[in-house]
Amino acid sequence: MLLADAATPFSWNLLTDFQQMWSYPFMVNAFRAGAIVAVVAAVAGWFMVLRRQTFAGHSLSVVAFPGAAFATLVGISLSLGYFGFCVAAALAIAALRREGQPGGAGESAATGVVQAFLLACGYLFMALYKGLLESPQALLFGSFLGITTGQVLTLGIVAVAVLAVLAVIGRPLLFASVDPQVAAGRGVRVRLLSTLFLVLLGAATAEAAQITGALLVFALMVLPAATAQQLTARPGPSLLLSVVIGLAVTWLGLLAAFYWPYPLGFFVSTFAFAAFLAAHAVRALAGVRARSGRPVLLGGAV
């Protein structure tokens, strides 16, 4: 069912439209869950893009699917399947990778191996189930409709834990992300930080996958962070901007999907991609102004 099936047409009276939208309990849970996931995905995704570990993030999102298939097979919570497989995959990547830069050749090889094996396991779980998985489209493309109050609470607890750990390790993690060799020389435990971040990335990916689905998790993990890093290289403003963009595209996607009969994932991805294109245009314009000798409003950007 699409959200638009339960709604009257958009009236352009925003007060009335919002009152109608918030009269549905599933929409209240959708906004709560969307806000939680958007913030966690934006923060974890910001470090992921900075560390060039988008392939690892993509692989962790993909293994959410065999996690959901396994949970369906054995009859446990889908959330438990998502988190269990994503965190286990993160630990496996950390254990199998060779020394080197984050996102380098050694890590990419280990990531590909883990992804291939767990996808094969996913197909095995589907075969053993001997039936159609419930809502396979939701597993791949996500849905806000099935989010319960209990799931919102679980997402909130996991989000607080992930953000708290990131707040504690944020400064050394940033140092190790920008220049791991110098960080190691200064006594920073780079490998331990990298392993811990992969686990946090697995937890954040499992959260986002429940909303965006396994195939569209990049909409919230990559695009807000990449857009923010186009606009500014300063870590604090860039991280804050990533969160703001993530929240904006998620809530705009919910609003659009409530009134128009198209998939939520399409709206969220499209709004996020449009923001990235706009940021790219702003950055290109700033480059033109700099070459012409006019004042440049933007700082250096990644």
In the prediction, which pLDDT does 200 show?
A: 92
Measured distance CA(178)–CA(184) in Å, rounded: 12
Q: Provide the Cα torsion 238, 241, 246, 252; round to 10°.
A: -150
List alpha helices for 179-234, DSSP H.
Answer: 180-185, 190-212, 218-221, 223-231
Q: Reply yes or no on whether the pLDDT at 276 is more than 90.
A: yes
For residues 46-63, average pLDDT: 88
Going by pLDDT thresholds of 50, 70 and 90, the confidence category of residue 296 is low
3-state secondary structure of 52: coil
Q: Reply yes or no on whether the pLDDT at 199 is more than 60.
A: yes
3-state secondary structure of 203: helix
Structure-block tokens of residue 36: 């939680």
CB 42 within 8 A of CB 245: yes
Residue 15: how many other CB atoms lie within 10 Å: 8
Q: Reply yes or no on whether the pLDDT at 138 is more than 80.
A: no
CB 126 within 8 A of CB 69: yes
CB 220 within 8 A of CB 208: yes
pTM as predicted:
0.83
For residues 197-213, average pLDDT: 83
Measured distance CA(249)–CA(4) in Å, rounded: 18
